[in-house]
Structure 1
Amino acid sequence: MHGVTVLQDMYSRIGPTVHRAVDGLPDDALTARLDPEANTVAWLTWHIGRDQDVQVAAAVGRDQVWSRGWAERFDLPFGPDDTGYGHTPQDVARVGGPAELLLGYVDAVAAESADVLAHLDDDALDEIVDDAWDPPVTRGARLVSVGLDSLEHAAQIAYLRGVLERTGRA
């Protein structure tokens, strides 16, 4: 199996995993918190889309999906490259539903990522895309990191959903 094929498989799992965790949740469950500083389903879903969008776009020199009307739909007070990294509990609280908006963005980003991967070959994965690190980051390493981060956050959403359902909050 080739590197791009492995990445395509990994990225194809992100959207369905997020959908399974979010579909059918009531709006109030999207913003419920386990404690005052915990991330919410809405924030985690948005963050999956933003991080993947920003990182994949930068790794291949494309515009972000966010700039295609999604920023206006969400109407959040964050900068155009904000992915949620370092957000305060107050910032987390600013991100809400509905689920259709959150999942729509994740789906649009997934489609863009699939298109990006369809146009890469294995040699492109070895190209340096970030020399601010030691060692410098290759495109392949960046794409693996983003895909794993997305799946990790999708698992957090699934866990959060389970807790909310078991405690009668979803």
Structure 2
Amino acid sequence: MQDVELYADLITQLSKWAHREVKNLTEQELAWQPDAEGNSIGVTVWHVGRWLDVTARLLQGQPATQELWLTRGWAERTGYNPQGIGEQGLGTVTGYTQQEVAAIPLLSAQDLLLYLRQTSNALSTFLRSLSSSEPLQEPLYPGAPYTKQQLLQTVFLGTCGHMGEIEALKAMMRRRASLTA
């Protein structure tokens, strides 16, 4: 198995993991926060989807207008365009203020998982289209201090961490609910 195939399979498996963890959550559970500054499960899932969306676009050298959040009508449906917000204006939650996080639309589990599936499929399909991992060794853009593969690795590892975060948030939410019951 080539590196690109392995990455594609791992991205697909992470998406399936998220589906198992989130598919049966209510909108209230998706919006629950452990404290005023903690992200909810919904925000965390959206964050993962956004990073996959942005990563697929960056790896393909496409302009920001080609992100699925825009091309699949999410921005239009929700009235929310994240571009230009946060770190490097990527709109991925990274570098957001609390007010910017609060502006992220509250999506149902079905919608969050649909966007996540769309973005993971786009990234996995692109990776499978490569005949080798050689293109991933190129700088992300001319003069970039890191390669496409380093971006992919960072996003993959971050996604794994966020899946643990989702599991922890669910456990904290259930413990809090059992204490108040």
TM more than 0.5: yes
Q: Deviations over 1:23-71 (max 9, x none)?
A: 2111111111111100111111111111111122112124211121121
Does structure 1 residue 76 correspond to structure 2 residue 85?
no
| Aligned position for 1:26 | 26
Number of residue pairs the alignment of both structures matches: 167
Q: CA shift at 1:88, angstroms?
A: 1.9
Q: In the alignment, is the contact (CA less than 8 A) between 1:38 and 1:89 conserved in 2?
A: no
Identity among equivalent positions (%) equals 28
Moved over 6 A (4+): none
Q: In the alignment, is the contact (CA less than 8 A) between 1:8 and 1:117 conserved in 2?
A: yes
| Mapped partners of 1:144, 1:114: distance in 2 | 14
Q: In the alignment, is the contact (CA less than 8 A) between 1:31 and 1:93 conserved in 2?
A: no
Q: How does 1:6-155 map to 2 (within 5 A)?
A: 6-62=6-62, 63-68=66-71, 69-76=73-80, 78-79=82-83, 81-95=90-104, 96-120=106-130, 121-130=132-141, 136-155=145-164
Q: CA shift at 1:90, angstroms?
A: 2.4
Q: In the alignment, is the contact (CA less than 8 A) between 2:8 and 2:125 conserved in 1?
A: no
| Structure with larger RCO (C-alpha < 8 A, sep 6+) | 1
Structure 1: gaps (5+ residues): none
Amino acid paired to 2:128 = A
Q: Give TM-score, length-normalised by structure 1.
A: 0.88
Q: Give TM-score, length-normalised by structure 2.
A: 0.83
The secondary structure found in structure 1 opposite 2:100 is helix
Structure 2: gaps (5+ residues): 85-89
Q: CA shift at 1:73, angstroms?
A: 2.5
- Backbone CA RMSD of aligned residues: 1.9
